[in-house]
Chain A
Amino acid sequence: MVWRHDNEMQRMLRDSIEAHVSANHSTDRVRECREMRAGFDPQEWRAMADLGWTGVLLSEENGGTGLPLSEALPLAEVVGRNLIPEPFVASAIMAATVLNAADNKVSQVIAEPLADGSRVITLAFQEQTGMKGATVPSVTCKNGKLVGNKLFVPAWSDITDLLVTCILDGDLAIVFIPGNAEGLAASPAKMSDGSLMTTLEFSGVAVEPENILLQGQPALDALNLAIANGTLALCAQMEGLATAAFEITVDYMKSRVQFNQPISDFQANRFTMVDLNGEIELGGASWRQALLNLDENRFEAARVSISAAKARCSEMVLAVTKASIQYHGGIGFTEEADIGLYLKAALRLSPWLGGAVYHRMAAYDMYREGQVDAGK
């Protein structure tokens, strides 16, 4: 992808993160994190904060650098490329987007520990598989008490606090709930990459009035934007992951000799890898186009193109990592080989925020609704 260019800010950020990553990160660390309770290392989260990554999107009032999403996405690519297990997309992109929308005194207090890396903030909004109904929760906030369940909440840990979507006075609202709140029960499930997906049960958790961050249309807008930003960042992360797996596999194929020749010389293998390269190119092009649409505030067009991008990237990252296992042969099926880490991370990322089958249909449905609205 020599023909794609970073702007100066993107290049600076990319250089900074790559320098840090090559000095502090390895697949050994990925394996260590898998054994940790939360699936990531709070110490490293703080180190990332010191470099400004957790506050990259947070507004300056919220203690961040307030960069636009386009400048933050190279970080997501590097996170994907290096299998960095810290919850960059869930917290530094999605939760930060909501906090920016709230932008009041309370959100500043909540955002500060995210910016300095002492806490992780995560957005709990999902109540079923897929993204359908993501903005119409059944969790309620009545008389200052939160009741109901959230599924598939990412980034749960000892240092995690929550932004929870609920219905308050008939409106969508987003409320802040500390992770250690009374009446909150968490049931984390371990995923293939070592991370957690957590079911949260709220049985009358107290909601302080000042912790109602957003309500009504502003809450809906913030949630939609958080999902949009998160989905694009996830696409960038999956492109980074797929690109790394592809390169590792190319190197392996060039060194693995069978029938007196490197297996990279066999045309069948070469053509399959070319096809996968094409999928990576399409995925990369698709999310960049969606990002342009979102930047230009063409939210309707952005919704369609974001779903198309997520469909392509979700499918592509699995196709690339599955083929990577195949071309590594027997060694690819061992726990010892690093390539398996990429497949297991891809399995976790691909369905998150909606998988390929869901988003393909969603893109087409939204496109058709748009046509009907336009009177076509």
Chain B
Amino acid sequence: MLENNHEDMSILSDDAFRMKFRDWLETTYPDEWKNPVVFRLHGAEETRWLRMLCDGGFRCPSWPREYGGMGLGLRKQLIYHEELERIGAARNVDTGATLLGATIIRHGTDAQKQKYLPEVLNGDCLWCQGFSEPNAGSDLASLKTTAVLDGDEYVINGTKIWTTMAPFSHKIFLLARTDMNAPRPQQGISMLIVDDMKQEGMTVSSITNLNGEAEFAQVFFDDVRIPVTNVIYEVNKGWDVAKAMLGDERIFIGSPTLANQTFAVLEELISKMGKDTDTIFKAEVAKAFCDLNDLRALFAQVCDAAIRGVADGKTYSTIKMQASETFKRISDTLINVAQEYGPSVGHPDLDGFEKDILAFFLIARPSTIYGGASEIQKTIIARDIFGPPAKR
């Protein structure tokens, strides 16, 4: 019943698949959404986009076909992302497919698969992820939200923060403490599902970010009751589930797409400013160009390694950190080169230039914070290089 009835594109040649998706995007992708980096699909827009993908047979590239996905290997998934970048597609988080769906497929019960996967596929249900708390960011294992068993229900109390797209989501999966006496903080945590963001005891308080968008939120849980069947995998094993959540797809957070698209705007800007032959500014742009070139090379080689199954945690951490730091650095160059125009709200008052460079700069800020801050990635890599530091 979950089986994908569309053509099996996993058996096409890489080129044939690329052209098929490209053709579809060129005829289908709405022009008004072609605004990379700055524009992100929210709520009804995201549902519309996911439904379009679903109808076209291009939904959930990494999911197996038996669950309605495209069943693509990593190489074709990369092509899929390259083509989205090529058309200038807007960002969308799609937490339901990449995080929740992948986890349900790996660890969920049959009932959970039947219940949750179809509505993710057709875009009817948008999900958000409740991990971070006000006092548990990088140190996630210190989270304090609790879920206490009461008959055949869990009662959740606590709060989550920086919950991306919470104001637009229908459901949330979260980490909560189910065993208060576990010896280590990573133990005694479970992954739970709340089926309705509007159910009794739930409060979503949106937070406006530095770029003026209210797309993340603080979520409060006040005696929120969920059935015991809403535990993903096993009780008290939520930490393990969370760690395994992304698998191979971790690689996409290290994609050079954002850096690439920001560099394209940088080129347009210096040309519009008539600075493309100015030696001082050219040196800055040349540095950005080489950074991007080398990031792309590293990403291509890490992808090859991932396809061969030999990419390790250190490698994923390296590419995530390099991609986000490079994105941020190139957006810095954008602002530096723009000089007085840099802080323009909307877009600089330059004839024929309509890119919101301030938004590029601001949107780049959290890229080295979310998905494991750069400092966390460095800690992981350092442990690989030196071993763990002595406990004091």
Interface of A with B (CB < 8 Å)? 2-5, 250, 253-254, 261-262, 264-265, 267, 270-271, 273-275, 277-278, 281-283, 285-286, 288-290, 304-305, 308-309, 311-312, 360-361, 363-365, 367-368
Contact = CB atoms under 8 A, between A and B. Distances in A.
A157 to B, nearest CB: 35
Given A3-B312, A271-B378, A364-B290, A262 B300 contact: no
B318 A278 contact: yes
A243 B385 CA distance: 12
Interface stretch (B178-186, B205-213, B280-288): B280-288
A281 B283 contact: no
A308 B312 CA distance: 26
Contact of A274 (B308, B378, B389): B378
B285 A270 contact: no
B385 A250 contact: yes
Contacts of A4: 301, 305
A308 B294 contact: yes
A264 B312 contact: no
Given A265-B389, A274-B378, A308-B294, A5 B301 contact: no
A305 B293 CA distance: 7
Given A271-B382, A277-B381, A304 B286 contact: no
B166 interface: no
A152 B365 CA distance: 46
Contacts of B341: none
24 contacts: A3-B301, A3-B305, A250-B386, A265-B390, A274-B378, A274-B382, A281-B298, A282-B295, A282-B297, A282-B322, A285-B294, A285-B297, A288-B297, A288-B301, A289-B293, A305-B293, A308-B293, A311-B290, A360-B287, A360-B289, A361-B282, A363-B286, A364-B282, A365-B286
Contact of A364 (B286, B310, B379, B389): B286
A232 B257 CA distance: 27
A285 B390 CA distance: 33
Contacts of A309: 294
Contacts of B387: 254
B392 interface: yes
Contacts of B312: 2-3
What 5 pairs between A and B have smallest CB-CB spacing?
A289-B297, A364-B286, A3-B305, A285-B298, A270-B382
A281 B282 CA distance: 26
B100 interface: no
Contacts of B294: 282-283, 285-286, 308-309, 312
B165 interface: no
Contacts of A367: 289
A128 B285 CA distance: 26
B175 interface: no
Interface in B261-319: 276, 282-283, 285-287, 289-290, 293-298, 300-302, 305, 308, 310-312, 315, 318
Interface string B321-360: 1100000000000000000000000000000000000000
Nearest to A363: B290
Nearest to B381: A274
B386 A253 contact: yes
Task: Summarize A's interface: helix, strand, loop or mixed.
Answer: helix
Given A273-B382, A274-B385, A363-B286, A2 B293 contact: no
B134 to A, nearest CB: 24
Interface of B: 276, 282-283, 285-287, 289-290, 293-298, 300-302, 305, 308, 310-312, 315, 318, 321-322, 375, 378-379, 381-382, 385-387, 389-390, 392
Contacts of B390: 261-262, 265
Contact of B290 (A3, A265, A271, A360): A360
Contacts of A312: 290, 294
Contacts of B300: 285, 289
Contacts of B286: 360-361, 363-365
Contacts of A273: 382, 385-386
A91 B283 CA distance: 33
B301 A361 contact: no
B306 to A, nearest CB: 8
B15 to A, nearest CB: 16
B250 to A, nearest CB: 14
A289 B301 contact: yes
A264 B390 CA distance: 10
A361 B315 CA distance: 29
A361 B285 CA distance: 9
Contact of B386 (A264, A281, A286, A290): A264
Q: Counting chain B CB atoms within 10 Å of each CB, which of A5, A308, A312, A367 scores highest?
A: A308
Q: Counting chain A CB atoms within 10 Å of each CB, which of B311, B379, B382 scores highest?
A: B382
Contacts of A283: 294
A361 B389 contact: no
B290 A308 contact: yes
A304 to B, nearest CB: 7
A12 to B, nearest CB: 20
A3 B384 CA distance: 14
A280 B2 CA distance: 46
A142 B131 CA distance: 78
Contacts of A289: 293, 296-297, 300-301
Contacts of B310: 2-3, 5
Contacts of B301: 3-4, 285, 288-289
Contacts of A290: 297
B378 A3 contact: no
Given A3-B311, A261-B390, A270 B378 contact: yes
Contacts of A267: 382, 389
A274 B377 CA distance: 9
Contacts of B386: 250, 253-254, 264-265, 270, 273
Given A274-B382, A281-B318, A305 B305 contact: no
A288 B304 CA distance: 13
Contacts of B315: 3
Contacts of B375: 271
Given A278-B381, A360-B286, 8 more contacts: A261-B390, A273-B386, A282-B297, A285-B297, A290-B297, A309-B294, A363-B286, A364-B286
B264 to A, nearest CB: 11
Contacts of B378: 270-271, 274-275
